[in-house]
Homo-oligomer: A and B are copies of this chain.
Amino acid sequence: MSTRFEFNPISPQALLIVISGPSGAGKDSVLQELKRRKLPLHFVVNATTRSPRPGEVEGVDYFFVSRHRFAEMIEQNELIEYALVYDDYKGVPKAQIRQALESGKDVILRVDVQGAQTLRKLCPEAVLVFLTVQDEQEIVERLDRRSTESEENRKLRLATVRKELMHISDFDYIISNREGQLEQTTETILAIIQAEHHRVQHRKVSL
């Protein structure tokens, strides 16, 4: 009997996974843990005009660029999304994402909540993950541990967190990244990626 139907069991579409959430929710730690696992994922390196924090590496943590260069990137439409965050610009390079997706790799990027909302509009197929914490106290404690935060920035961040929590419903997934649960959070993100590769709306089924 001839084969009448057949479909590609492996989704040909690479996923764009957006890790977002309030400051202090642990986005950076989760991304570091994901990187440590040496999976075939492309981690987008964002551009920023802020100075490197101790230990941060150019081209790995961020592309640290001048305000002049950043303005040029905006002008030349090189950024899929950018924002002014506490006096510093941060942006997501477009070409990097496109190249990685075309190579078939799932792409992971980290943006603030406002940026995630922009990405949702630009790319409805993106998978939006909201990382959060158990309660406000936990955010306060985490921000206090960041010696680089001025009292003013700290207050600003906390106010922003409150606002950002109103936008959870714009996201696909929410993960409470509680203290000491970094590994569990990472496993959940990997489960989400695996599951999303099997979502019907991401797939091109040919019968």
Contacts and interface: CB of A to CB of B under 8 A. Distances in A.
Nearest to A178: B9
A158 to B, nearest CB: 8
A139 to B, nearest CB: 9
A135 B5 contact: yes
Contact of A134 (B2, B6, B132, B140): B6
A7 B174 CA distance: 11
Nearest to A196: B195
A135 B6 contact: yes
Interface string A1-17: 11111110100000000
A155 to B, nearest CB: 11
Contacts of A4: 136, 162
A69 interface: no
Given A188-B195, A195-B191, A195-B195, A205 B136 contact: no
A178 B9 CA distance: 9
Interface residues of A, number: 41
Nearest to A3: B135
How many copies of the polypeptide does the oligomer hold? Answer: 2
Contact of A171 (B137, B168, B188, B200): B200
Chain A contact surface mostly: mixed
A207 interface: yes
B168 A205 contact: yes
Nearest to A8: B176
Nearest to A172: B200
A165 interface: yes
Contacts of A9: 134, 176, 178
22 contacts: A3-B137, A4-B136, A5-B165, A6-B134, A7-B132, A7-B176, A9-B134, A9-B178, A166-B207, A168-B200, A168-B205, A172-B199, A172-B200, A173-B195, A173-B198, A173-B200, A174-B198, A175-B198, A188-B194, A188-B198, A191-B194, A192-B194
